Amino acid sequence: MPPLPQRITFRLAIRNRRGMLGQVTTAISDVGASVQAIQRTGAQRHVIFRDVSIDVRDEAHGDEVAIALSEIDGVELLAISDDVLANHEGGKIRVETTREVMNAADLALVYTPGVAKVCRMIAEDPTVAYRFTIRSNSVAVVTDGSAVLGLGDIGPLASLPVMEGKAMLFKSFGGVDAYPILVDEQDPDVFVDTVARIASGFGGINLEDIAAPRCFEIEGKLRQRLDIPVFHDDQHGTAIVVLAALMNAARVVDRELGSLKVVVQGIGAAGVAIIELLQAAGIGDIVPVDIDGIVEPRRGPGLDPIRRRIAKRTNPRELSGSAEVALRGADVFIGVSGPDSLPLEWVQTMSEDRIVFAMANPTPEIHPDVAGAHVRVMATGRSDFPNQINNVLAFPGIFRGLLDCAATKITDEMKIAAAEGIASIVGDDLAPDYVIPSPFDRSVVPVVAQAVADRAREQGHVRPGSAGSLESESEAAMQTAARRAIQRAVARRFSEDADD
């Protein structure tokens, strides 16, 4: 499969003569590149300046385009701009103020001496911070850079552009202020201690791009130590969107969710979370598969602790052998593994109404063009095919809901509620090529947020005394502070009267 295109912009000085622009576009087409936009940026008597944005396969292909353009008589190549680099120039996020500081009076209100009043209120009642600080709308996006996209262990600093992108999505889709936190530490206990020590300034923790199995230990220990939600998006974000898509895919094939026989290929962070959430949603027949075949107890001491745990909780028909064995008669294939690892011949041994989610990215386990005619529902992780399984459908709305109700944790029930919310967006438009909404559907976040917040309140996992209402908590704290101020004033007056 060809790699995803890269966009490069060429700034050209083109002789002002009929047919010159046509020569430019023809030269680009002749080397297999694609013109996406042409913008006139200026002109002189004999020259027109244009920015030409072109999709190329890779850097080498971009060099071919540059050579082809420079060989045209009457065209001068002035500059080349990589659109990816241009969109990262100076970073992608920033901090903005919500109050203007124009004079001494403004300064006294937002800083010293006025700020001392709020500090004292928080010292007396920490819930006040949810109204008078950024904590009520802030999430830490925490990584060690050990499992970044398809790049692997590139370290925390090299992962920063990804974490900035995540923060952008939090803000753009959910209105959540997210901050990249890079922790240069491989020891899980030290990592956990570091995050726990800085967590009080945040309303939630989003773990990102941390390699398995370390990610399981880190998330578990942080959830034990902190009284705010801890969510590893690579695990649970993926699982929630998969469940949402599977809920609707089951409707397409007219099956109850719990009746499906599911094969999950890839027992890393996402695979483990998918299995656990599908089980929580009522699916009992799940067969886990890795590169060595079906993950089951008879494979012996070669199983790591995570696979051993998964083996004990899955595969109720006690299958043994290769992935091919697991797929015979299965209704659903969910792949979070590697490219081109699912032969069409194996797909054809599945049940008649086959559902295939091939989510390896950018090259799926089986290409939709290969599998499409042989399955009822096909989904991938790619944006250029229908039914994209994309985490952006989950995490902005989930954290929006968690923050809105001041949740203290996130549970499987809340994740299922989020999946139900995502699935509900499809509604009556359900079709084999539309079982999951677009990642750019702005109606998703409010629905998911409401579903998560409602479930958190039902379960009682919100700040004590307010049923999740930050307004009522902080109002109560303010009333308490007001009563104490009155008591202090009255006490001073009695003291002054006694002195008189």
Q: Which helix (H) or strand (E) covers residue 432, if one does?
A: none
Q: Are 272 and 214 in contact (CB under 8 A)?
A: no
What 8-state DSSP symbol labels residue 207?
A: E
Q: In whole angstroms, what is the distance from residue 178 CA to residue 161 CA? A: 14
C-alpha distances (whole Å) from 46 to each of 23, 27, 75 are 17, 21, 12
- Whether 341 and 373 map to the same domain: the answer is yes
SS3 185: coil
Q: Are 330 and 253 in contact (CB under 8 A)?
A: no
- Exposed, middle or buried: residue 428 (CB in 10 Å: 0-12, 13-18, 19+)? exposed
Q: In whole angstroms, what is the distance from residue 62 CA to residue 78 CA? A: 15
C-alpha distances (whole Å) from 69 to each of 10, 20, 28, 74, 359 are 9, 11, 7, 10, 38
**Number of separate domains in the chain:** 4
Q: Is 196 a domain residue?
A: yes
Active site residues: 111, 166
Query: Which pLDDT does position 490 carry in this prediction?
Result: 60
Residue 110, domain extent: 104-228
- Whether 473 and 448 map to the same domain: the answer is no
Q: Is 96 a domain residue?
A: no
- Whether 42 and 121 map to the same domain: the answer is no
Query: Which pLDDT does position 466 carry in this prediction?
Result: 40
Query: Which pLDDT does position 85 carry in this prediction?
Result: 84
Confidence of residue 259 (pLDDT cuts 50, 70, 90): very high
Supply the CATH number for residue 308's domain: 3.40.50.720
Q: Residue 269 has which token pair?
A: 């962070």
Q: Could you tell me which residues come within 8 angstroms of residue 227 by beta carbon, excluding any fewer than 6 positions away?
A: 408, 409
Q: Could you tell me which residues come within 8 angstroms of residue 260 by beta carbon, excluding any fewer than 6 positions away?
A: 246, 250, 283, 285, 331, 332, 355
Query: Which pLDDT does position 361 carry in this prediction?
Result: 87
186-194 own/partner pairs: CB under 8 Å, 24+ apart: 186/144, 186/146, 186/214, 188/214, 188/217, 188/218, 188/221, 189/221, 191/144, 191/218, 192/218, 192/221, 192/222, 192/225
C-alpha distances (whole Å) from 287 to each of 209, 290, 311, 315, 317 are 26, 10, 9, 5, 9
Confidence of residue 84 (pLDDT cuts 50, 70, 90): confident
- Whether 305 and 222 map to the same domain: the answer is no
The region of weakest confidence among 45-49, 81-85, 105-109, 485-489 is 485-489
- Whether 283 and 373 map to the same domain: the answer is yes
Query: Which pLDDT does position 150 carry in this prediction?
Result: 78
C-alpha distances (whole Å) from 467 to each of 264, 412, 463, 471, 478 are 38, 20, 7, 11, 18
What 8-state DSSP symbol labels residue 46?
A: S
- Whether 454 and 473 map to the same domain: the answer is no
Sign of the torsion formed by the C-alpha atoms of 229, 233, 237 and 242: negative
- Neighbour order of strands in the sheet with 261-265: 293-294, 285-290, 261-265, 332-335, 355-358, 377-380
Average pLDDT over all residues of the chain: 91
CA atoms within a 13 Å half-sphere pointing along the CA-CB vector of 139: 37
Query: Which pLDDT does position 395 carry in this prediction?
Result: 97
Q: What is the DSSP string of 153-173?
A: ---TTTTHHHHHHHHHHHHHH
Q: Residue 392 has which token pair?
A: 């952006």
Query: Which pLDDT does position 22 carry in this prediction?
Result: 93
Q: Are 75 and 15 in contact (CB under 8 A)?
A: yes
* pLDDT, tens digit, 9 for 90 and up, residues 445-499: 999 999 999 999 999 999 874 444 445 555 555 566 656 666 666 666 656 655 6
- Whether 111 and 197 map to the same domain: the answer is yes
Q: In whole angstroms, what is the distance from residue 12 CA to residue 50 CA? A: 5
Q: Is 240 a domain residue?
A: no
Supply the CATH number for residue 189's domain: 3.40.50.10380
Q: Is 92 a domain residue?
A: no
What CA dihedral angle connects 252, 253, 256 and 262, to 10 degrees? -110
Angle between helices 214-225 and 233-252 (to 10 degrees): 100
* pLDDT, tens digit, 9 for 90 and up, residues 3-34: 567 899 999 999 999 999 999 999 999 999 99
- Neighbour order of strands in the sheet with 6-15: 34-43, 47-56, 6-15, 75-82
Query: Which pLDDT does position 208 carry in this prediction?
Result: 97
Q: Are 303 and 295 in contact (CB under 8 A)?
A: yes
Q: Could you tell me which residues come within 8 angstroms of residue 460 by beta carbon, excluding any fewer than 6 positions away?
A: none
What CA dihedral angle connects 159, 160, 166 and 172, to 10 degrees? -160
Q: Could you tell me which residues come within 8 angstroms of residue 393 by beta carbon, excluding any fewer than 6 positions away?
A: 241, 244, 422, 436, 437, 439, 444, 448
- Whether 297 and 440 map to the same domain: the answer is yes
* pLDDT, tens digit, 9 for 90 and up, residues 315-347: 999 999 999 999 999 999 999 999 999 999 999
Give the strand pairing for 377-380 and 355-358.
parallel
* pLDDT, tens digit, 9 for 90 and up, residues 346-402: 999 999 999 999 999 889 999 999 999 999 999 999 988 999 999 999 999 999 999
List the one residue out of 285, 302, 237, 294 whose CA is nearest residue 267.
294
- Whether 428 and 484 map to the same domain: the answer is no
Q: In whole angstroms, what is the distance from residue 180 CA to residue 141 CA? A: 5
Q: Is 282 a domain residue?
A: yes
Q: Is 463 a domain residue?
A: no
Percent of the chain with pLDDT over 70: 92
Q: Is 94 a domain residue?
A: no
- Whether 436 and 473 map to the same domain: the answer is no
- Whether 223 and 334 map to the same domain: the answer is no
- Whether 437 and 292 map to the same domain: the answer is yes
CA atoms within a 13 Å half-sphere pointing along the CA-CB vector of 333: 40
Supply the CATH number for residue 49's domain: 3.30.70.260
Q: Is the pLDDT of residue 219 over 60?
A: yes
Confidence of residue 45 (pLDDT cuts 50, 70, 90): confident
Q: Could you tell me which residues come within 8 angstroms of residue 462 by beta carbon, excluding any fewer than 6 positions away?
A: 405, 406, 407, 408, 456, 468
Q: Is 495 a domain residue?
A: yes
**In this predicted model, which residue has the larger pLDDT, 89 or 404?**
404
